[in-house]
Every structure is written in structure tokens, then in C-alpha cells.
Amino acid sequence: MPREWRYCPWCFKAASGTVCEEPECNRASMRTSEDVVPSEARPFHGLVVDWRYRVTKYVFTGGYGAVCWAYDRFTDRMVAVKFLCKEPTAVVSDRVRQRFEREATILGRLRHQNIVRLHDVEGIRDGPPCIIMELLRGSDLEITLQNRGRLTPTEAIQWLLPVCDALQYAHGQGVLHLDIKPSNIFRHQNPSGDEVVKVLDFGIARIRGGDLPQGQGVVRVYGTAQYIAPEVATGQRPAEASDLYSLGAVLYECLCGQPPFDGADDFEVRQAHVENAVPPLPEDFGVPQDLVALVFCLLEKKAGRRPRSAREVRHRLAQILSRLQRVDGSQPKPPPTDTNIVRVHQTPTPTGVTEATHAPQTRWRRLKVFPLLGAFIVGLLAGIAIARADACGVRIAGENLRQTTPGIVCASNGCDRTTSLP
């Protein structure tokens, strides 16, 4: 059962009381963490890694440990710490340590705006093994789908175009991600307010042709059952096309609200990927035919029948997106509710459905009389002024005529009369 936790704002130690129990700072009152911390994340709360990273907030408990926010006192910035253990003092198995080292090595060699950035690695010799990353703020696609159910075709493409960019780059570096799924796709909002989609979690990524057992027909099955490519599910060597299949399964889920295959357990789901036909997308969801065709092409059982590269998928998605945006743009937009009100207060046009057009004609005539009357008065006053100016040798003040209230000024000594023009 989740329970609320508190931490000391000075030493970041976690405790349940109202005052920090550390001898050095026992007067500091505890702050309630922003989150309700599940018991499995409790060991990390308030932890200080390598005298440097103070864990301030728990984010997520995964299969291997937890992802937390932390304050880096050296660089004075917030970072994300991914612990590869359930408890800071837990003994970590060789397998987990290998996974941790591989994730750090692979992430360390990737530098791309759509891939989460690695800052540091801790716990290689002692302490909890953890990866320090740039802190992403926003939400992952899994949470978005939980909240929204499914996305519109435009939204789905906008989420996945950057994933194609990330995959194209990673594949170019010889890296296969092998765990493309909604929870590993994050929409990050940077401080300037711009949003950027990033791929994370290279926990089971592989260097192509690198560290897989060589010369064996069968390798260990890894990946998440709902998004696993048939060749990976059957233990064959994964390739770039395996990531594209997973991308297809994610695209399917974005458009439909659920992944293409389900089952009682992971085994059944993997079997379905290998044997079952992909269920058609419901017609009333309004997914355009070319997008449906791309989804089914990505979900081809045979790797060779899928698109050749992430670049090709990107190109096709971009084309569909620009067509969708053209169509959206050509649709007549519903007028804002206050359009008519605005028009009334702006210049009334004879054809506009405004209050002004319905006003009686006599009002218009009355309005037209005022300028004529004004012009007449101006003419009259100017005539008088010129006549008087003639009388006392006046000159017309050019500067004044450019001012808001133009005037004619008498320049004769002792004559300071000014006539302002209306």
C-alpha cells in the first residue's frame, strides 16, 4: 500500500517524523515529498550517491530498481538516477551488473536529440549501481495512452516520427534497441517550453552482431511480449527490422488503444506474434488507408517484408502527416464564438451580420453629416485666422501644423495669439 513519505530539505534523509533525526540538523522540519512513495522506492528516498547526487523524488519502480529525481550539487542541476537494484545495499547479481554495464556503455556512445542523454555512471566498484541521466520532464507514451485511450493519426505520427529519427541514428551506430514500447518513449518539455520526444531504456539493447552468442541457432528471448518481433520471440538473431516491428506494434496501439496481440501470459502473446494475423483496425476509428498499410507492413511476420529502414518509415510517416495537415488546414474552421462581437466593435461592413448593419439608415445619414459640418467650421476658422494674420503680418508655423493640434501662431512682437485648428 503506497504511503506518504517525508524528507529533510537539508540532508535529504528520509524519515517519517516531523523533525529530521540527524544529529547535525535535528531542527529542520521535514518536507512532504511531492509523491506518494511506494514502499519499494522508500530505500532510495533521501539517499546521497557518491556524496554528490541527493535523491529527492521517486518516479518509477521498474523490474530492476527505481528511477528517481536527484539534485547534483556539483553542477547545481536536477538529474535522473536509474538504480539497477531494489535496495541501495542489495547484492547485485552478475547478470544485472552486466545489463547495467551494457546499458551504460551503449547509452554513452549515443548522442542524439531524440535519445536520453547519459551523464554519469556510479556503483561500478561499490555502492548501488546506477546510471545518471538528463532529467526528462513530461510524460511517457504509456501514461499518455492510459489517460487518452488512443491518439488521433496526427498525434500518433507526431509521437513516432522522432522515434524513427532515434532508431535511424542508433541503427547507424550499430545499436539495436530491442525494447521499443510506449513506456520507453518520453515526451520531454525543456525549460524553454519546447517539447521533444526521446527514446530511453537501452537496458536490453545490443550492438549489432556484437555480444550475442555466436554460432548458436537459438539465443535467449528478451523484450516485452506485447511488442516483440516474431523472429525475436522464436529466439532468432534480432536485427534492425525487429525494432521496426516493435515500432509497428506501438503505432497500432496508439491508433487503436491496445497492442495488436493479447493473451493469458507472455508465452501466449509471443505465440500470437508468430502465428496470428494482425487484427484489423476498427474502421470507425478513421485511420487513413495509407497509415493502415504502413502499420501492417511494419507488422509483417517476415523481417524481409517490412520497410527497409527507420529512414523509410520516417519518410512514409512524414508524407502521411503532411497530407493529413493539408486536409485539416483546408477544412473550414468553425468561427470563434465571439467573432460577431469583435466585428461590431471593429469597422462594420455592409455585408457583416452585425448590429451595425441592422441599424436604421437615418443613423448612417446623421453620421455622414458630421464630417461635412466639421469641414465647414475648419474652413471658417481658417478664413478668420488668415484674415487676422494678414492684419498683423503673421507666418504659418510649419512645426505646429505637424503636431496633433495644429495651429496658426502670430509671430509679431507682442502678439502671442494662437488659433488652434479644430
Ligand X SMILES: Nc1ncnc2c1ncn2[C@@H]1O[C@H](COP(=O)(O)OP(=O)(O)O)[C@@H](O)[C@H]1O
Catalytic residue among 179, 266, 338, 390: 179
Of residues 11, 15, 48, 59, which one binds ligand X by CB under 6 A? 59
Least distance CB 200 / Mg ion (angstroms):
7
Is 62 a residue that touches ligand X (CB under 6 A)? yes
Q: Where are the alpha helices (DSSP H) in 257-309?
A: 266-275, 289-298
Query: By CB under 6 A, is residue 72 in contact with ligand X?
Result: no
When asked if residue 135 is in the footprint of ligand X (CB under 6 A), the reply is: yes
Choose between 41 and 303: whose C-beta lies nearer to ligand X: 41
- Residue corresponding to grid cell 495488436: 260
Q: Do 159 and 302 meet the contact criterion of CB atoms below 8 Å apart? A: no
Q: Is 197 in the site for ligand X (CB under 6 A)?
A: no
Per CB under 6 A, the segment of 183-191, 213-221, 294-302, 346-354 that binds ligand X is: 183-191
User: How far is it between the farthest Cα atoms of the chain?
Assistant: 117
**Closest separation between CB of residue 149 and Mg ion, Å?**
21
**Binding partner selected for residue 120 from Mg ion, ligand X, none, CB under the kind-specific 5 to 8 Å limit:** none
Three-state SS string over 184-210 comes to HEEEEECCCCCEEEEECCCCCCEECCC
User: Percentage helix, strand, coil, to 5, in the chain?
Assistant: 40, 20, 40
Grid cell at residue 210: 556484437
- Closest to ligand X by CB, 105 or 183: 183
Task: Read off φ and ψ for residue 185, nearest 5 degrees.
Answer: -120, 120
Determine whether 179 is an active site residue.
yes
Q: Which residue is nearest to ligand X (CB)?
A: 62
**Residue 55 is a binding residue for ligand X (CB under 6 A):** no
Of residues 176 and 410, the one with the C-beta less far from ligand X:
176
- Check: CB of residue 180 under 8 Å from CB of residue 247: yes
203 binds ligand X (CB under 6 A): yes
CB of 63 to ligand X, least distance (A): 5
Q: Which stretch binds ligand X (CB under 6 A): 4-12, 149-157, 199-207, 335-343?
A: 199-207
Please tell me the distance from the alpha carbon of residue 391 to that of residue 223, in angstroms, as a whole number.
102
Q: Which of 37, 85, 136, 299 is close enough to bind ligand X by CB under 6 A? A: 136
With beta carbons less than 8 A apart as the criterion, state whether 183 and 278 touch: no
Nearest residue (CB) to Mg ion, 56 versus 184: 184
Of 189, 204, 55, 222, the C-alpha closest to 130 is: 55
Give the CA angle between residues 406, 412, 414 to the nearest 5°.
105
Least distance to Mg ion, CB of residue 202, Å: 10
310-330 helix and 289-298 helix, angle to the nearest 10 degrees: 160
Q: Which of 176, 200, 226 is nearest to 67 (CA)?
A: 200
DSSP at 299: T
Residue from 72, 120, 122, 140 in contact with ligand X (CB under 6 A): 140
Which does residue 59 bind out of ligand X, Mg ion, none, counting CB within 5 to 8 angstroms by kind? ligand X
| Catalytic machinery residues | 179
Given the rule CB under 6 A, which residues bind ligand X? 59-60, 62-64, 67, 80, 82, 116, 133-136, 140, 183-184, 186, 200-201, 203
